Structure 1
Amino acid sequence: MKIFPGFLSRYVSGTNMYHDCLFLLTGVVLAFGYDDLSKNKVATQSTTAVSSTDDFIASNAVDRDITTCMRASPIGKSSVDKTVWWRVDLGGVYNIYSANILFKNYVGYESRQRGRFAGFSLYISNNGSMDNSSLCYKDGPQLPSLNFTTTCITSGRYVTFYNERLDGVSYPEGYTLSLVYTELCEVIVQGCQASGVYGRSCAQPCPFNCRDNDCHIKEGTCFDCAPGWREAVCNTKCNAGWYGLNCKQQCSGHCRDNAICNHVTGQCDGGCAAGWRGVLCDKVCKDETYGNSCVYNCSGNCLHDYPCNRQTGQCDMGCKPGYINAFCNEHCPPGYYGYECKKACSGHCLNNTVCDHITGTCTNGCLAGYVGKLCNDACKEGYFGQNCLHACSSNCKTCKYTDGTCSCQAGWKGSNCSTVCIKSFGENCLYPCSKNCVNQTCNRFHGICQFGCESGYHGQKCDKEFLSTSCLSAVSSGFIGATVSACVIIAMVVLISMIRRKGVFISKPNSSNPKDATYAEIENQRSGDSTYQELSVTTGQELTGSQPDKAYQNLALQ
């Protein structure tokens, strides 16, 4: 049991002995109850009464010697000071159960001392403040006992005694109003020095989920619960969908698989539902991200750069040109391009490469014979090849725009119509000269025999036989003499006509085309087996060609 120094040598008068006995009983309670939190702690006061030996300092109230007391300068009507305070620093925040104050008594002056003590206030706080939130006890209107104890279950570091006598204020009967000295002999603050415990022996641990491990020092109930817990001893989780301090915060509702958020932190321990992000899953995905906790990137190919669906990643408004499927992450199939891949490529890209899936252009150029961004324009007439840079031959009737191969005009043959016809004539030299032409040589444009006909044939193409044999066979044997005579006369007439006329025949020009330009051909042919030249044109006939593209006119008199 704790016995305070000097107690037994204290006053023996009845009144003082009464108070001393009370204080002794208090000491006995302290010895077997709560901890003494204020003993020998640092104390301060607003003023100190004048003394030559510093007998009235603030620390006297916590030295556990009832014969030494603090004393402040007087307050009241005749005093300069109107208020007074004394404060002890417990050195830390403790759970407090009660405060006991022993006010000084004088033999025969107990009523006066109670009047000086009356009206005081007791504050307990963490910072020394004196306001309604830290008020532990307010005395009045009855006069207090000089050995005063009040239960004040709270926590704090600073315990402050305060009193006042203000001018113009009416105070209850019995209050001393002048020369009000404050004399505190002992201030005992009872509580538990250890944190997180309660009970008279300070041996019971506070419930695990009490906020700051702080509980009612007597009952063991929590003043506040740690986040996520509720009820008096904080042993019940927040209701589903709620979390945090006092379970007053609502979950976001966006946890993955509709899970309930953590009752303490509010976090979604299994991650966020599709389209949500953040610690609490309360923020939507940023643009171009989607899915659970927004960990996936959109394709970036949604139509008009709209963001994809934050939950599914699909492009709800469709795809940009060149892309297909719900996510717009696939190119058009080969050979197609554009919006919804509905346009077909030209099929004329160089090396048979596919066109660009977005624009349809051939990035490496076009096949021979085609031009334009899409390679869908054929070379204009007269040109062919890569980029249509090559001109077709002038001898072509038609020219293939891809490789320049020609269908030739009359008199020419070969892939580019650069080879003249030999023993043949016409377009692409398709027609052979008549075998009845001398040396089977004919005009390459229209097939007229150039050097005359073989014996027995006549005509421009030597395709007609002479009728001499037929004529002789037609004369009857009775008129052989007359027939022979007639034949001799006819032959003489023809011979005289040939001598008088020269075998020169001229053809007039009828075309400006060099290929079709007319020119004169002189033909004077002899035959070893024939003594004359037969002419196939009747005397006086106009000398003209039958076709505009024929270069020769074989003329004869008959």
Structure 2
Amino acid sequence: MSSMCVSLVAAYVVVTSFVWLHVHAARLVTTETDGKAKFVLGNDFGVPVGGHSSLTFQVKSCGNVYILLTEKIKVAPTEGNYYFISLGVTKSHRISGIIEGCYSCNTFRNYKLMTVLNCTEYRAFWVAWDGQGSVSIGREGDLRTKPFLQFKGKKKYPINFFQVTSYNFTAEFRFHLPCDEGTYGENCTDVCGHCRFGLACDQDSGVCPHGCHSGWTGPLCAEECGNNTYGSECTPCGRCRETCDGDTGRCPNSICQPGWVGERCDRECFQGTYGPYCTPCGQCQEGDTCDVGTGHCPNRCQDRWMGVRCDIQCPPNTHGYNCTRCGHCRGEEDCDPHTGQCPSGCDPGWSGPLCITKCKSQTYGHNCGLKCGHCLGEGPCDHVTGDCSSACEEGWLGSRCNLSCPGLTYGQDCQYRCGHCAKGSKCHPATGACADGCEEGWQGHDCIRPDLPNPIRISTENSPAAVDQQYVTGSVRADTIAAIILGICIALLMGVIFTLLWRRAVNRHESKYRANYSNDNDGKPVHLHIPASHGDTTSNAFTNAGYLNISDTTAQM
């Protein structure tokens, strides 16, 4: 007895849990049985209930009605996976009970003699099952209390079909069928929203049991999220450079907008950092913070740092906040990294505290203390070496033009030799003038002209004093050359005249000979008389010219 009680209690607990899973929202279907007690396909009524665990219905009948809960729609009368339920109505037909696997049997292991139906009124019932062998049925008002029939079998199988029939009496049924998946509400006319994981919504309220699918929000998951959001709650994306993932909110490749970090780019970088990876700022001027996007320093860098982000350390031989290159310190020595001053002074050619100022014009060398030489046209010399960029002035030599012409030389590049200065003294290096006069027998300011008895003088009315005692340099040499040239010209002219006269005489003689030969000989041969000696005076003029001696025979006759 005690074990039976334990079994009943256990069965009640199981059935009660399924009662709580009863679906209130349903679509109402009505039908009427023909009273012929048929349980076959196309019977009085068969409802697919696969995937459900309960059903509500109303029935009005003057006789017993019978219910089948089956795994398959076709069943055998005495065996199979199904439950047979009888609901009584009158004193003679008031057996209410549950049998497993045999609807043609009249024996109920657990039954009750009770009237639960009415001929004129609909009575509401619920029936529930768990697929583990437990079945229960109760009145609709007892939904959350104790069922009036329950059964616990040993076999486990799913219930996929709900069928009803009656015997000898017709019965009117109203079924409250569970809503199809994806619908809810009264008569199942409302469509579920976008529930997460594709699950069905609650068939009473339409609420999604595990929230909304990505991109949807609201209590029924029917409101579409705006752009740049993610998740079931339409959480705004972080500061991604591109649109975040609609499910997770992660930024593509974890690339954030400048100044943000994290896989969702929802954490701002700490102060003193910048960029998509919160890189530390460079060495900005004290008190300044770099731009969170670019890392650029707003003003300038601290000393010894350079670059727009002040992240490049100054190289050697520089100074100051912008890494200015040191000046020309002596011996390539580094300047002071802060002030730029050269500790040991400047290289030759440079001056100033930073050794960046060239020597002024006409100076050069260490501390610009040397003066340029005699460069041509007073041109500047090199500020370091002192070398003249052009030639030297007359009378000077050397790359710096600081060497006077050596010995007895003078002029441009010292190319001329001094004249006969008195006492063998040196002439002026530029002009060649003899300061102490000339040696005896020489004259001129440079003492290079002989002192002749009648020297050719140049007199000028405008400045007689300036040219007195001044003689044309090289005048004797010029007169001699002129005389020679004049004699050559006269000789050449006489030769040309003689040649012309001689050719004219030859031409006249030949013309005369041809005329005589043509008139007197009438075609007779000419007799040539060639003397044995070139001393023949008849042809003396021609022998000198190299011609043969020809004697006119006619003249001798």
Both proteins in one fold, TM over 0.5: no
Normalising by structure 1, we get a TM-score of 0.34
Normalising by structure 2, we get a TM-score of 0.34
Larger radius of gyration: 2
